[in-house]
Amino acid sequence: MRRPLVAGNWKMNGSLESVRSLLEGIKQGVGDVKNAEVAVCPPFIYIPEVEQLLSGSDVAWGGQDLSTESSGAYTGEVAASMLNDFGCKYVIVGHSERRTYHTESDQLVAKKFAAARAAGLAPILCIGETLEEREAGITNQVVARQLDAVIELEGVDALADGVIAYEPVWAIGTGKTATPDQAQEVHAFIRSRVADKSSSVADQLRILYGGSMKPGNAAELIGKPDIDGGLIGGASLKAEDFLGICTAAN
């Protein structure tokens, strides 16, 4: 039985004040969420504050990205060990915004996945197709390519240490959600591709859906057999909405 995970990706949003009040709200409501895991991924600069506020709670936290390197002359980068220093459990890798605005390739993302694992962090690997790719009928090809880059570098067993987030690019921050059936179809494809190499890894692998998930559509999405929670952008910035999704996962 896979325990659902609901992870908030705050992206580049917030202030010290809003971080404090958002976490206060989440902590107040999260006590009823016993059957799902909850995590937040703040901007790097707020991670020490988040650690202070969430230590001892049931909410985990993580980074939104990391360097492939362990230390050295890489201005602006953050190493996995630094995320470890501040209690991170998770780190997002390969978010479509990084793939698009920072031209991160499948191979670079695979190296980030490896760097996270090597430091004992659980990478949340984001994969997903653009609207053009969906319309061209190559969704499965695209997600297979993104997934295979990690399997080729690290082996299929490495996936057991992480989480996959299927995030159709056309659904991120657009208000357009994949229908539960559309999402389930791709999730089942991802799981079957992993199962071709290892059925035990496939059985335990959590595959989250991301793309305009809200309290109103979360239960139906997470109710699908291969959808094991959500990676939440916009709706993770309001305690009430985020908790609504956590409750649906619960």
Residue nearest to ligand PEP (CB): 233
Minimum CB distance to ligand PEP smaller for 211 or for 244: 211
What does 7-45 look like in DSSP terms, one character per residue? EEE--S---HHHHHHHHHHHHHHGGG--SSEEEEE--GG
- CB nearer to ligand PEP: pick between 158 and 233: 233
Residue 217 binding ligand PEP, by CB under 6 A: no
Amino acid at 18: S
Q: Identify whether 102 is a catalytic site residue.
A: no
Residue 210 as a binder of ligand PEP (CB under 6 A): the answer is yes
- Based on its alpha-carbon atoms, the radius of gyration of the chain, rounded to whole angstroms, reads 17
Residues 6+ apart with CB under 8 A from 52: none
Instruction: Check binding of 244 to ligand PEP (CB under 6 A).
Output: no
| 92-111 positions binding ligand PEP, by CB under 6 A | none
E-state strands within the chain: 5-9, 37-41, 59-63, 90-93, 122-127, 163-166, 207-209, 229-232
Closest alpha carbon to 32 in 246, 213, 221, 227 = 246
Residue 162 near ligand PEP by CB under 6 A: no
CB-based burial of residue 209 (10 Å sphere; 0-12 exposed, 13-18 middle, 19+ buried)?
Answer: buried
Nearest to 224 by CA among 194, 177, 179, 190: 179
Give yes or no: 167 in active site. Answer: yes
Stretch that binds ligand PEP, among 42-50, 79-87, 165-173, 215-223 (CB under 6 A): 165-173
Region binding ligand PEP by CB under 6 A among candidate stretches 18-26, 70-78, 153-161, 209-217: 209-217
| Catalytic one of 129, 133, 154, 167 | 167
Nearest approach in angstroms of CB 238 to ligand PEP is 11
* Subset of 7-66 contacting ligand PEP (CB under 6 A): 9
**Contact residues for ligand PEP, defined by CB under 6 A:** 9, 167, 172-173, 210-213, 231-235
The residues carrying an active-site annotation are: 95, 167
